[in-house]
Structure formats: structure tokens, C-alpha cells
Amino acid sequence: MPRPTLRTLAKTLGLSRTTISDALRGSPRVNKDTLARVRSAAAAAGYQRNPLTGEVMSQLRRSNGQMVRGTLAALEIIDHPRAVHIQRYNTAVLQGAIERADQLGFKIEHFEATRDELRLTRIDDILHAGGIRGLVVLPSSGFPDLSSLTWSSLTAVYADYFIDRPALHCVCPDHYRSMYVALQTLHARGFRKPGMVIDASFDERLQCRWEGAFLAIQNVLPDIRKLPLLRFTELTKASFLAWYRKNEPDVVLSHSTEVIDWMKECGARIPEIHGFLCLNSLRATVPCASLDHQPRELGARAAELVIGHVIQNEFGPPAMPSLTSIPARWTEGPTIRLSAPLATAAAAPAPGARRPAAGKR
């Protein structure tokens, strides 16, 4: 039996091949009754569309036979006022997405919107009018609500930890693994009393991944003194000094670099005896050791995933949203010594090594 084609379906249904093709792609130009009739007939005939060929032909038509080039959108929900480090982070994510998309033959148009549904509706109209079906959603300070977009003909990846309106595939930093490796590195350099200063709302947004890893690895590393965390809703000098003087950590991990001066007020000798690690390099206001969350890599990975869905003709919110995570990169700085003091290095096993049981040497 001959394999069904667009031509045979068009002849059977009395429609043009363009209408058949548009219906199979889910184009909004085809009314719902016709779309249902075409898809039913295609399924009955055993027709299988090649999504790669369809996308290439679509791009050829839009480019008048010139170089095949698709278009994606990068959507950014803007809150005012917006912190400088968030603006820098999103700029890096966008740049990574643009660079990777260009390598794969796509360009990216950047759209900004507030949390106003009317603006999102306007952007939705622009996307469909321009035939843009792939969307990279840039990180937002809260949890964005994109449910008003027409998802039947869109695919998207969120370049942050979590989104549920609708639930999408996400690409984000691996906060848990990054903390784990950071504490291993600090332990190897002789620090035995790590203390963490963390914004409670920020960590809760990540389902306590920073705190969870910080507490978990202390059960593995030898000779660690477990100190209580300083969790805050608003960090003040007085609260920090009280916590620091009571617990006397030898290294502090925090997003806030202002605590470096507060540590020195308490007599901290950085980096000879004490240390400081900034948990996000883009939030550092002074030179210091830090974790680089590699936002350009996150943007690049998000673009790759979106392009894959477009090529495979996979539109709409995924049935099983996935999370892709990328670990942070340690960045050296003047607030962490490069090696352990000799006495500490001689006494302590290497990071991850188990201490010998009593009576066994």
C-alpha cells in the first residue's frame, strides 16, 4: 500500500497541501474543525510527518531560499527596581543563549514584560505572527505566571530552578553539588569551623539546597566543628557580630561581601587564619573568592533544549518536566588561602577520606 503523503491527504479531503501542512503543524491559521478533521484522517491513513523536514521547509519559505535560519524568543519578566546582580546575571544567560543559538542556525529576539498579563498577551500575538515557536524564559525574581500564552504551539525552557504555571523543563545552577565541592575545597585548605550566613527566603526558594548540602557534608568531612547557621530576613551588622563572636567560625560563606569588614572588626586575619567565600561571584562588591554559577553555560544549554524541541515538533508544556543542573566553578580570590597551614595539613586526612576506626592504624 503506497505511503500516505500531503498530496494524497489533500486529494482525499479536498483541501490544499498548504492547509494540510498547516493543520499538521498546529498552525493557528487553521480553524479547529478543519484541524481535527485533517489530524483524524492522517492518523487513520498512518501518515507520519518528518518534523525536521517540515521545519527546514518552513524556514526556507520565510527566508526566500536564503540561508536556513530559525528564530527563538527570550522572554524576561522585569521587576522594578531590579538588583544590579540580577541584571548582570540575566544578561549573561541571554548572551549564552544567543551565542549557542547562532551556532545552531537560529537567532534570538529579546522580549521584556512586567507581571502584567496584557503585556504577555501582546507578546503572545507577536510570537505567533512571526512564526516564533521556541522560547527561552530568563530567570525571574519570583515564580513567573506564563499560563496566558498559547502553549499549544509553543515550547519553552526556563533558565532557573522552578516554574509551575505552566510546568516547564528547567536549566539551573547545581546549588547542592556546588556547596558540597566548596566545603571539600575549604576543608582541604585547613578550615575546620565553617559558618554560613544565608537569606532565608532565598534558600527556601531553592528548597534549602544551600543549607541542605552545608549540613550534610559536615557528617562526612573529619574534624569539622558544626556551627549554627545565621539565617536572616534582613542582615544587620549587629546580628552578624553577635553570631560571629559567639561561634568564631574560621571561614564564612555568604552572598553578602559586606561581612568581610565585619569579620575584620572582630579580629579576623584574612586570608592567613580566616577566610570568606562569596556564594555568587556576581554579587561580590569587592575582590574575593567566589562561586561562578556560569550563567552563559546555562543560557547555552537552555537554547539547545528549546531548539531540540522545535526540530522534533514537540510543543506544549511537557508531560514530565525535567531539571538540568550545571555546577558552579570555584574562582580564586584574596579571601581564601591557597593551601592548608602545615600543622593542619599534616593532621587531617584528605577531603572525603574516612578516619581509621579505633584500634586500627
Task: Please tell me the distance from the alpha carbon of residue 84 to that of residue 74, in angstroms, as a whole number.
Answer: 20
Q: 148-207 pLDDT, tens per residue?
A: 999 999 999 999 988 999 999 999 999 999 999 999 999 999 999 999 999 998 888 888
H or E element in which residue 32 lies: helix 32-45
Q: For position 205, what pLDDT does the model report?
A: 84
The single-letter code of the amino acid at 99 is E
Q: Which residue has the higher pLDDT, 49 or 108?
A: 108
The answer to whether the Cα torsion of 259, 263, 265, 269 is positive or negative is negative
Q: For position 72, what pLDDT does the model report?
A: 97
Contacts of 215 (CB under 8 A, 6+ apart): 226
H or E element in which residue 251 lies: strand 251-254
Q: Which three cell numbers stand for residue 126?
A: 507577536
Q: Where residue 117 falls among pLDDT bands split at 50, 70, 90?
A: low
Q: Which three cell numbers stand for residue 245?
A: 563572636
Q: 203-244 pLDDT, tens per residue?
A: 888 889 999 999 999 999 999 999 999 999 999 999 999 999
Is the backbone of residue 222 left (phi > 0), alpha (psi -120 to 50) or beta? beta
CA 33 vs. chain centroid, Å, equals: 39
Mean pLDDT across the stretch 42-65?
A: 59
CATH class of the 175-292+330-347 domain in this structure: alpha beta
Task: Please tell me the distance from the alpha carbon of residue 144 to that of residue 186, in angstroms, as a whole number.
Answer: 36
Task: Please tell me the distance from the alpha carbon of residue 356 to that of residue 361, in angstroms, as a whole number.
Answer: 7
Q: Among 82-91, 133-142, 179-188, which is the least confidently predicted range?
A: 82-91
- Start-end of CATH 3.40.50.2300 domains in the chain: 70-173+296-327, 175-292+330-347
Q: Which residues pair with 283 in a beta bridge?
A: none
Q: For position 228, what pLDDT does the model report?
A: 95
Share of the chain above pLDDT 90, in %: 65
Q: 282-323 pLDDT, tens per residue?
A: 999 999 999 999 999 999 999 999 999 999 899 999 999 999
Number of neighbouring beta carbons within 10 Å of residue 342:
9
Q: For position 58, what pLDDT does the model report?
A: 55
Q: For position 54, what pLDDT does the model report?
A: 53
Peptide bond into 271 cis (omega under 30): yes
Q: 5-33 pLDDT, tens per residue?
A: 877 888 888 888 778 877 887 777 788 88
Domain 70-173+296-327 grouped into CATH 1.10.287.10 = no
Distances (CA, A) of 39 to 10, 42, 55, 187, 202: 12, 5, 18, 61, 47
> Are the C-beta atoms of 296 and 146 separated by less than 8 Å?
no
What is the end-to-end Cα distance of the chain in Å, rounded? 78
Task: Please tell me the distance from the alpha carbon of residue 305 to that of residue 324, in angstroms, as a whole number.
Answer: 10
